[in-house]
């Protein structure tokens, strides 16, 4: 997904987030490299 290692290991209370919750959150996200590519294309046009 392009996120740094351990980026979503801990929640707001510094508690470890379960694998299920992390997979669900990442599954609903867009990959960082894809977002960077899209935004670079938009910035080029502007």
For residue 39, is pLDDT > 80? yes
Confidence of residue 6 (pLDDT cuts 50, 70, 90): confident
| pTM of the shown model | 0.56
| Cα(19)–Cα(35) distance, integer angstroms | 24
pLDDT at residue 24, rounded to an integer: 86
pLDDT tens track for 7-38: 778 888 889 999 898 888 888 888 889 999 99
Greater confidence (11 vs 1) lies with 11
Burial 5-25 (b: 16+ CB within 10 A, else e): eeeeeeeeeeeeeeeeeeeee
pLDDT at residue 34, rounded to an integer: 94
């Amino acid at each position: 997904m392009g996120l740094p290692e351990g980026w979503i290991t801990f929640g707001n209370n510094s508690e470890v987030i379960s694998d299920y919750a992390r997979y669900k959150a990442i599954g609903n996200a867009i990959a960082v490299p894809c977002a960077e590519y899209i935004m670079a294309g938009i910035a080029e046009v502007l």
